[in-house]
Amino acid sequence: MKRTTVAFLLALAILAAGAAVISAAASDLAIGRRLPDSERVAARWTPERLLAARPMPPPRADLERLRGEEGDEGGAIAARAAAARSVHDWAPQPPTARVPQGLAKILIDPERLAGHRPARERRSGWTTTARGNFLLDFTSSRLVPEDSRFFYPYSTSGKLFFSIPGEGDFICSGAVVSARVVATAGHCVNEGGSDFFEDFLFVPAYREGEAPFGVWTANFVSTTEEWSDLPEVPNAADFGFLVMDDIDGAKIGSITGWLGWLTGNLSPNHVHILGYPANLDRGERMHQVTAGDSIAIEPLIASSAADTHIFGSDMLGGSSGGPWVQNFGVKAKGQKGSKNAKLNRVVGITSYASGNAKDKVQGSSDPGSSFKAAFNLACSAESGNCSKKGKPKS
């Protein structure tokens, strides 16, 4: 059946059911949905629900057969570097407003949080030796100092709560990438077709029940058609975007700042991966992994034309949707002359883990035209969602 016919029948079915209308991008690369009743969503997330939310299990890919078969032999890195030169660039933006009085909240009483799990479960059973079966080196750490979360660019990253009808409440990670837009993984917003999740709540710089920059509800969600058509990994475009409601006239990006993004620049590269993995500090603290270049994963699912890369990492469930950021941080005087000098650009999003935990890798789709289409769909949902200063450059 032709895609246009499928889209037409899907639209009729949605209208007949009285559901929110699915919006399609002009390029036919992304779909989105308006989300109703933000006040109900905010009231729904009681301390009990926040505590009961489970980390979204990372989709698993069978990478075992690729061990020793893929790599950067014979100038493959140089070839990918040349292919990466044609990119779309969205500029980052530090915070432009002070945190309004009353925005910071304590979502969960510290004593209640401490007593939620037995003390013996506070230690993760995961061994954090920084190399796995794929021999990809990485560094895994809490933030140092942990109060770094209050400052840009850490302030852009946060914990994402949401519900899946019939399954319960879950947790992913995400990052602010424009005035009102948060980026995450496609599998954190959609399980295929028009089946979007619900009740999204984003908490930037979350730590053990604290919300220093407030809690933000969403009014629009989008993902790529690659993900909605075939929600399996590796996937060419496991990306999702949320448009956040303003709080007392303030946009989330003005309070936290936002990260930029680059397409076609995931490999070769070095990245800073942020997220809230439940296997480390119970997912109650922002975690960071820094990792070097990856192994290129050839398409494992022919129909998805998966273009993904893996980097070393020990983060698991809950870290899905976290940003992979190149040149993370603040430039020092004297830093110049680099061939890839753009600061604080998202070049990947945590998408999947290996089926073998001892591999200690995470994978990301390589952002491309579908990433841009889903982002633009979120931007177009309402005037002011995205800053003209950061207009993507082809």
Q: Which amino acid is located at 184 in the chain?
A: T
Q: How far apart are CA 288 and CA 290, in angstroms?
A: 7
Residue-level pLDDT at 389 = 57
Sign of CA dihedral 309, 312, 314, 315: negative
Rg (CA), the chain: 20
**pLDDT value at position 123?**
40
Task: Note whether 253 and 387 are within 8 A (CB).
Answer: yes
The token duo for 297 is: 């994963």
The model's pTM:
0.84
Residues in the chain: 394
Q: What is the pLDDT along the chain (394 residues), one digit of tens a residue?
A: 333 333 433 343 433 333 444 554 445 799 999 998 888 999 999 999 999 999 998 888 877 654 444 444 434 434 444 444 446 889 999 999 999 989 999 998 887 887 766 433 334 444 455 778 777 889 999 999 999 999 999 999 999 999 999 999 999 999 999 999 999 999 999 999 999 999 999 999 999 999 999 999 999 999 999 999 999 888 989 999 999 999 999 999 999 999 999 999 998 899 999 999 999 999 999 999 999 876 555 433 332 335 788 999 999 999 999 999 999 999 999 988 788 899 999 999 999 998 888 888 999 999 999 999 999 999 999 999 997 654 444 4
The one-character DSSP state at 369 is: H
Report CA-CA distances (Å) from 4 to 7, 13, 24, 222: 5, 14, 11, 19
Q: How far is Cα 10 from Cα 13, in angstroms, rounded to an integer?
A: 5
Are the C-beta atoms of residues 220 and 194 closer than 8 Å to each other? Answer: no
CA neighbours closer than 13 Å in the CB half-sphere of residue 98? 3
Supply the pLDDT for residue 109: 85
Cβ(70)–Cβ(180) under 8 Å? Answer: no
For residues 46 and 56, give the distance between their C-alpha atoms in angstroms, rounded to a whole number. 19
